[in-house]
Amino acid sequence: MPETARAHASGVDAAEPMLRIENLHAWYGESHVLHGVNVDVHPGEVVTLLGRNGAGKSTTLKSIMGIMPRREGSIRIQGEETIARPAHRIARCGVAFCPEDRGIYATLNVAENLELPPPVRPDGLSTDEVLALFPNLQGRLRSAGSKLSGGEQQMLAIGRILRTGARLLLLDEPTEGLAPSIVSQIGDTIRKLKEQGYTILLVEQNVRFAMTVADRYFILDQGRITDAHDKASFEDNFESLMASLGV
């Protein structure tokens, strides 16, 4: 793997990753989707997985969370091996997953959605803290999930996982289909969470958005990591990388 794969954000302890994935394989039935994926994410980093549709990005997040039908290899969270653990035990390691479809409950209102997740750690954000982070939700507390705009649903989905106390956040396509103004708000939120010490593994199709928040990048192609870059290296190779990603 290129030397740039080991570059880390300043101030991050390189000795112990928050998340270390080694030789990860995953299957849907007989379909072998991930082929020996290796990724590391250090405390306080925002790391982005990039790749074409179907490359295995979302599958990687689902594998970390333990919701793939079959997975093999090693996934260590703060040094603890979790590859054989079910999803509810992985969540208690301080991990939260915000899926691409957002997963909010359409028949529950915003306040009920925020109150629903059980805490996995004691330092989850209060409802007031979530609303301070996403003021758009303040006037929508009694609105059903089905009545929210796409941007409001995404804010609610992220806010909900912040209530759990998880410090490792897995965000799957958080800007997909959103207006530019909402994309900007999501970017501001990710940067604020990073400042507060959260660690984020981000799957994102919007490469230019990813460049505003990410410290490092891993490129996935057909279930394999084919390249890795720190921020400077990614910017230096931007045009060739965009061509390889088909963007």
Q: Using 50, 70 and 90 to split pLDDT, how confident is the model at 84?
A: very high
pLDDT at 46: 98
> Around 118, how many Cα atoms within 13 Å sit in the side-chain half-sphere?
5
More confident residue, 14 or 21: 21
pTM: 0.91
pLDDT at 11: 38
Over residues 163-190, the mean pLDDT reads 95
pLDDT at 30: 93
Q: Which domains does the chain have, with CATH numbers?
A: 3-94+167-245 (3.40.50.300)
Over residues 109-117, the mean pLDDT reads 94
Instruction: Name every residue whose Cβ is closer than 8 Å to that of residue 111 and which is 6 or more positions away in sequence.
Output: 127, 141, 142
Instruction: Name every residue whose Cβ is closer than 8 Å to that of residue 107 and which is 6 or more positions away in sequence.
Output: 144, 145, 146
Alpha-carbon dihedral sign for residues 61, 65, 101, 198:
negative
Cα 107 from chain centroid?
Answer: 25
How confident is the model over 188-239, as pLDDT tens digits? 999 999 999 999 999 998 999 999 999 999 999 999 999 999 999 999 998 8
pLDDT at 7: 39
